Amino acid sequence: MPRTVPTRPGLTRRTRRGRVASLAATTVLVVTTVLHGIPATASPQDADTTAAGFTTWVPTGSFASSSFERVPREPDGDAPEPAPTTLRIATVRNAPTSAQLGVLARTDLRDLRVDIVRARPRAGQRSLPPGAVTVRYPAYIPVEGTDEVTADPLRDGPVDVPEGSNQPVWLTIRPSASLPAGTYVAGVRVSARGQRPLVHELVVDVADVTLPDPEDYDFYLNLWLQPDAIAYAHQVPLYSEEHWRLLDVYLADMASRGQKVINAAIIEDPWEIQWPDGTWRAQTYYPFHSLVEWRYDGASWEFDYTVFDRYVEASLRAGIGPDIRVYALLLFGGRERLFYTDTRTGEKVREVVQLGDARWREAWSAFLADFERHLRERGWFEHTMLAFDERPASTMAVVRDFLAESAPAFADKIHIAVYSMDVDLSIPDISFSHGLLPELTPELVNERREAGYRTTFYTTGSPLTPNTITATPPIGARLLPWIPVQKNLDGYLRWSYNSWPADPFTDPAYRYAQGDEYIVYPGDDAPMSSIRWETFRDGVVDHELLRQLARRAGEDNAVYRRALALVDANARPSPELYRAVLDARAMVVAELERYQDVDVDVAVEPAAIVAGDRTEVELTVRNDGTRPFTDVEVQLRGDDGWTVETVEGGRAPRLGPGEVLRTRFLVTAARSTPTAVHELVATLALRRSGRSVSLDVPVPLDVRAAVGVDSVIAEPTELAAGEPATVRIDLTNRRSDASSVRVTVTTPDGWVVEPAAQDVELDPHGAETVTATVRPTTASAGRHEFAVALEVDGQVVERGHVTVLYDEAPVEGLAIHSVSSEELVGEDGAAANLIDGDPLTIWHSRWFDEVAGPPHEVVLDLGRVRAVHAVTYLPRQTGTMNGTVKDYEIYVGNDPETWGEAVAAGAFDGGRDEKRVDFPVTEGRYLRFVVLSEQAGQPFASGAELTPLTSRSSP
């Protein structure tokens, strides 16, 4: 039966740790799409772009990056530079691309509108087809907790603009998949009632590259839809025919971004939490109703899947799926309960149970057995997982044991979103919080991929960028899809797509950071897009272009690697970042054009060899297009002293569509080749459509030197003043014949070594140990490194090193002189925890009542003037990685109010291991540790221990 919308009482807003509310920033609002009809042909205006009543201008100053910033409603400072007559942007076929114009009203404007009109092409240009550009007008909404407004929803026009105010105009350019590559032109006509219109020339460069349709995107997008909110916001009965019609439209919108997952609630409101008044209610303004009806007659359970089935069918029909994630065997707030209809009385019962007790096990055993049967009947079982949201490992262990015993078919069908590395990494589908990204090593991610597991990441109310909250600059939403490519992840998860407050246009936040709960708005009869939703989609396009290049040219392709290195997805917005994103995109598109219709695959067997040994390289070229290739030739170049022999293939006079050329090479590495991954280069030459094409294909080969360093050990590793150390070097011969090697040990200033060089003969597959003594002469206290080099035939083939700590000790008697902020309400985050010697306590910058932003600093009192030469920083060892320091500065001085130049500055790597900073010996009473940024780009700072180091022997 249809359910009507319940009345929602007013609730107190509160911030949950990790989802930050009231971040101060401005944001833009996006509204539904409209394409005005195309009137008569118009030519670009030759005069300046200041009409009598308004001025057009370009945010960021470049039309190509104009979507990266929001347009403030009130002009900021001087009048903007008028927009150029010609607006130019580059894109590819079937790829939506965003751009923006600002309009400054010099008088009250009525019915401001922008029309895409025909323009006369010049030589080499074509007319942009009708319908290729969509025009919308960002509306302004309040910024929670401030008197400011920000642009975000995209509405239809025309619009009225008060004198002295700005109005952004959002353009979405989408060339069809069948459009020939080339340069296209149209007019952008800006007009208002009673005002002289002006026309810009819009030039669109369409590359000879085609983006796949969204259902074929590689990007694994998992947004959580709130189906109930759609009924409530549009004021239709829940799961009425009107509601299902609206759901079809919203599901199609999600599918347009490549949504892959059907998320379904199988119990009433899986995200119920305890509020400050002690009551348990939904964390969202509108609660989630179960898609499965639970019924109980006092003895047995039965389940009605009518709504669930129709919801899954609607999602599949929209192009979402086939993966299904169902919530929740474990409830979010930590209190377990059952919700069912008592068929004896017709009463709705909300029964609180304990995790793992007999009643909980009885109900869930009955459900899972029946649910498995139903899913198998519908053919959905293989694609369905039980989903869990931020549940600790201790409770997940209870669930895993229960499933193994009572529902073994579901034992390994688990998806979980986690905010701590305290998780069973054998779970097949894990989404890690953005703050955990520094701990996701390439080895961990690769191991999961090789096991067939999926690994994604998610953001909440933080970090500010990259993200999709309202306070995030538009470039921050675009950067999100870069992270899966750079970290080799599968995709991105986000809560939530549309969990709206009562009125997102006038009161835009409910419990969490504004925009954390939704990325679209309720339109009249469809979702209203937003600047965030559009720029996020632009980032998905970037992701797909990168993946397309990796598939065609391989992940070792130089352009692919350079593009990934160029863009820092966690960087703060800046003109340099904007240029990096555009340059990386242009590089990738140009390389895809070069590789058009060419699919290259490289296989090396064995992929790792010893210097002097041989391997086989097979390079396969496939014509994926509809045009033949001619004069195809493949060559492979090796390093100096290597031999390369072609044993099969290498040439083809013609390679038709779908045909393959396989070429095999035998490659022998020179005996003096050093240990490294050596990148050989295969050159592919061909003619395509009468034009010559030459492609360089990297062929990585892992070579180990003929003679290697097994280990370098110093004894002892911590030295008192004047104490020597013995350096022991263990060598191995990796070949089956004898080898000669020279071993050299070098020291830093202030040390001598004896002997400095030794010649060693190694038997076939033999091992030897050589030693050297290092002695301090004028060495200062601190960390000292000794380097070892192995030479074969005069070529250094492998290196080693060992570190000793000389004459140093931690400063004792530390005190906190001052701290910029510390959290004393939401947790024990006192700065004093940095110097208490306990790695399980932490300092954390203020986050509970108000978020303190960077820079953060702690000033230590060393007790007296001391000579300091290093500092160690231990990140927090428990919980999330929030606040883990990235960029830092260190100062030493005698006046805590006046500081000179920093004695050290840099950036820490991620992870929980201890970090060390060495600097020249500096005397002072105070040490100042400044945190400029956090590893995940969040506004926090934290740490477990901060320890200055001094000389043990000096007074």
Q: Residue 785: its pLDDT value, please?
A: 97
Sheet of strand 614-623: strand arrangement:
598-605, 614-623, 660-668, 643-648
Q: What is the mean pLDDT of residues 623-633?
A: 95
Q: Is the pLDDT of residue 552 over 60?
A: yes
Which residues, listed in sequence order, are joined to residue 713 by a DSSP beta bridge?
Answer: 728
* 539 touches 465 (CB < 8 A): no
Q: Residue 45: its pLDDT value, please?
A: 47
Which string of DSSP letters, residue by residue, matches 372-388?
HHHHHHHT-GGGEEEEE
CB atoms near residue 22 (< 10 Å) = 19
CB atoms near residue 487 (< 10 Å) = 18
Triad 727, 728, 731: Cα angle to 5°: 140
Sheet of strand 454-459: strand arrangement:
220-223, 491-494, 454-459, 429-433, 414-418, 384-389, 323-327, 261-265
Which residues, listed in sequence order, are joined to residue 663 by a DSSP beta bridge?
Answer: 619
Q: Residue 910: its pLDDT value, please?
A: 83
Structure-token pair, residue 480: 């999100």
* 664 touches 648 (CB < 8 A): yes
Q: Beta strands 718-719 and 795-806: pairing type?
A: parallel
Residue with tokens 């024990």: 828
What are phi and psi for residue 608, nearest 5 degrees?
A: -130, 130
> In the structure, what pLDDT confidence band is assigned to residue 23 with cuts at 50, 70 and 90?
very low
Q: Residue 44: its pLDDT value, please?
A: 54
Q: What is the mean pLDDT of residues 699-706?
A: 96
Structure-token pair, residue 911: 């992870």
Q: Residue 697: its pLDDT value, please?
A: 94
Residues contacting residue 355 through CB under 8 Å, at least 6 positions apart? 330, 336, 395, 398
**Residue 560 exposure: Cα atoms within 13 Å on the Cβ side:** 23
Domains delineated in the chain: 54-211 (2.60.40.10), 598-699 (2.60.40.10), 707-806 (2.60.40.10), 809-951 (2.60.120.260)
Residue with tokens 């001391």: 866
Tell me, what amino acid is at 649? G
Q: Residue 420: its pLDDT value, please?
A: 85
CB atoms near residue 680 (< 10 Å) = 21
Q: Residue 639: its pLDDT value, please?
A: 87
* 169 touches 71 (CB < 8 A): no
Which residues, listed in sequence order, are joined to residue 507 by a DSSP beta bridge?
Answer: 503
* 774 touches 751 (CB < 8 A): yes
**Residue 341 exposure: Cα atoms within 13 Å on the Cβ side:** 10
Structure-token pair, residue 133: 């550009």
- Measured CA to CA, the distance from residue 392 to residue 416 in angstroms comes to 10
User: By mean pLDDT, which of 73-77, 366-370, 483-487, 575-579 is the weakest?
Assistant: 73-77
CA trace torsion 891, 893, 899, 904 (10° rounding): -20
Q: Is the pLDDT of residue 258 over 70?
A: yes
In order of 498, 829, 903, the CA distances from 372 in angstroms are: 29, 47, 64
Task: Quote the crossing angle between the two packed helices 241-255 and 306-318, to the nearest 10°.
Answer: 40
Task: Quote the crossing angle between the two packed helices 393-406 and 358-378, to the nearest 10°.
Answer: 60
Helix or strand run (H / E) with residue 313: helix 306-318
pLDDT digits (tens, 9 = 90+) for 408-440: 999 999 999 998 888 999 999 999 999 889 889
Q: Residue 463: its pLDDT value, please?
A: 86
Q: Tell me, what DSSP letter sits at residue 216?
A: G
CA trace torsion 795, 800, 803, 804 (10° rounding): -80
Task: Quote the crossing angle between the two packed helices 531-553 and 575-594, to the nearest 10°.
Answer: 40
Residue with tokens 């010099």: 106
Helix or strand run (H / E) with residue 312: helix 306-318
Q: Residue 586, SS3? A: helix
* 799 touches 787 (CB < 8 A): yes
Q: Is the pLDDT of residue 170 over 90?
A: yes
- Measured CA to CA, the distance from residue 404 to residue 422 in angstroms comes to 21
- Alpha helix stretches (DSSP H) within 438-574: 442-450, 474-479, 482-487, 531-553, 558-566
What are phi and psi for residue 844, nearest 5 degrees?
A: -140, 135
pLDDT digits (tens, 9 = 90+) for 66-115: 999 999 999 988 889 999 999 999 999 999 999 999 999 999 999 999 99
User: By mean pLDDT, which of 8-22, 124-138, 475-489, 684-698 is the weakest?
Assistant: 8-22
Q: What is the mean pLDDT of residues 267-289?
A: 92
* 661 touches 632 (CB < 8 A): yes
CB atoms near residue 45 (< 10 Å) = 18
Task: Quote the crossing angle between the two packed helices 227-234 and 241-255, to the nearest 10°.
Answer: 120
In order of 54, 100, 154, 155, 471, the CA distances from 138 in angstroms are: 17, 10, 4, 6, 15
Structure-token pair, residue 920: 């020249």
Structure-token pair, residue 383: 């694609």
Tell me, what amino acid is at 432? F
**Dihedral sign, CA of 464, 469, 473, 479?**
positive
Helix or strand run (H / E) with residue 502: none
> In the structure, what pLDDT confidence band is assigned to residue 51 with cuts at 50, 70 and 90?
confident
Q: Residue 823, SS3? A: strand
Q: What is the mean pLDDT of residues 602-620?
A: 96
Q: Which of 847, 845, 835 is nearest to 931 (CA)?
A: 845
What does the mean pLDDT of the chain come to?
92
What are phi and psi for residue 720, nearest 5 degrees?
A: -80, 170
Q: Residue 102: its pLDDT value, please?
A: 97
Tell me, what amino acid is at 851? V
- Measured CA to CA, the distance from residue 408 to residue 902 in angstroms comes to 60
Q: Residue 43: its pLDDT value, please?
A: 54
Which residues, listed in sequence order, are joined to residue 948 by a DSSP beta bridge?
Answer: 871
Q: Is the pLDDT of residue 850 over 90?
A: no
Cis peptide leading into 59, omega within 30 of 0?
no
Q: Is the pLDDT of residue 2 over 90?
A: no
- This model's pTM is above 0.75: yes
What's the Rg (C-alpha) of the chain? Answer: 32
> In the structure, what pLDDT confidence band is assigned to residue 50 with cuts at 50, 70 and 90?
low
In order of 152, 154, 530, the CA distances from 137 in angstroms are: 9, 5, 10
* 660 touches 618 (CB < 8 A): no
Residues contacting residue 318 through CB under 8 Å, at least 6 positions apart? 248, 251, 252, 254, 255
Q: Residue 871: its pLDDT value, please?
A: 98
> How far apart are the two ends of the chain, measured CA to CA in Å?
84
Q: Residue 28: its pLDDT value, please?
A: 32
What are phi and psi for residue 265, nearest 5 degrees?
A: -85, 125
* 256 touches 214 (CB < 8 A): yes
